[in-house]
Amino acid sequence: MPHPIMFDETDPLLARVRALVLAYPGAQEKISHGRPFFFTKTSFAVYGGSEKDTRAAFPRSLIVKPDADERLALLGEAHTYLPMYLGPSGWVGYDLDRDTVDWAEVAELVDMSFRETAPVKLVRELDERLG
C-alpha cells in the first residue's frame, strides 16, 4: 500500500528548498513515504516530517544530517525538532513554516548534510565548483 502524498507540489517553500538542494553535484529527488527525499547515493535532505516524541507534524520543514556538534546546538533552538525515524540516527528537523527563516543557515545545514552523506567524489566536485 503506497504512502499518501504529504506535501503540496505548489508550495513555494518546497520550490525554494528544491532550488537549493538540487544544485548540489549528483543531487536527485524521489518521493518516499509520501515526502520529497533529496539524495546522492543516500538521502541528505527530506522535506517535511514529524517530531519523534510528540508526533507533532512539521509538513513544511527540512530534515538534515548535521555533524554531531552542530546537531547538539540545533536541538536547543525553538524552530528545530527531533524527527521521527531519522532523529535517532543524527538527523534534525528545521521548521520552515514561520515568519522569519534564516535561509543562509538553511543553506549551511544543507551543505553540512550533503558533506556528511555524499560520496567523497561528489564532495570533491562541490569543492572544485566553489574554488
Task: Please name the helix (run of DSSP H) or strand (run of DSSP E) that holds residue 114, with its range, or none.
Answer: helix 103-117
pTM (2 d.p.): 0.95
Candidates 3.50.50.60, 2.40.50.140, 2.40.50.100, 3.90.1150.30; CATH matching 12-123: 3.90.1150.30
pLDDT attached to residue 53: 83
Measured from the Cβ of residue 40, the count of other Cβ atoms closer than 10 Å reads 18
For 64-111, write each residue's pLDDT tens digit. 999 999 999 999 999 999 999 999 999 999 999 999 999 999 999 999
Crossing angle of the two packed helices 103-117 and 120-130, in degrees rounded to 10: 140
| Domain residue spans of the chain | 12-123
